[in-house]
Amino acid sequence: MNKKNIIIISVVVIALISVLIIRSIIIGRMEKARDAARAKSCAATQRILTGATEMYNMDHPEMLTSLNVKALLTPSYNPYTKKNESYLREDPTKNDFGCEYASKGDLTQDGYIYCKKHGSVEEIVNKYGR
């Protein structure tokens, strides 16, 4: 093997190693961005569930004290609009991000909805921003 071949092989090896290092950096950043996007989507779902529960509780004398997606999806009589309405058009808890929603405390008082994987809206905002 002459000197020229050794230099060519060295350059190729260095280029391959550089590509692998850059690739791992880019993939790491993309995974971070993807995790942040999923957590923010989760926070949006929690806000939807909280808003729907609050609207339900304003319209019904028997209020929801804990998260009840089934009640929010089931049409019920709204005395103000005089129509049967549901508070959610579709189930927002079905996603592929591993979210599992629950509530802590009494939702008619200071209780809140959270995700068992991502935490509460406040925790997500503190970690990833708005």
Could you list the residues that contact Zn ion (CB under 5 A)?
42, 99, 115, 117-118
Question: Which residues, at least 6 apart from 70, have a Cβ–Cβ distance to it below 8 Å?
Answer: none
Closest CA to 86 of 62, 101, 70: 70
Segment (H or E) for 55: helix 3-59
As measured in angstroms, the least distance from the Cβ of 33 to Zn ion is 16
Is 29 or 117 the residue whose CB approaches Zn ion more closely? Answer: 117
Report the nearest approach of Zn ion to the CB of residue 62 (Å). 28
- Of 52 and 115, which CB lies nearer to Zn ion in the complex structure? 115
Q: Which is nearer to Zn ion, 34 or 117 (CB)?
A: 117
Shortest distance, position 41 Cβ to Zn ion, whole Å: 8
Q: Which two tokens stand for residue 73?
A: 């999806």
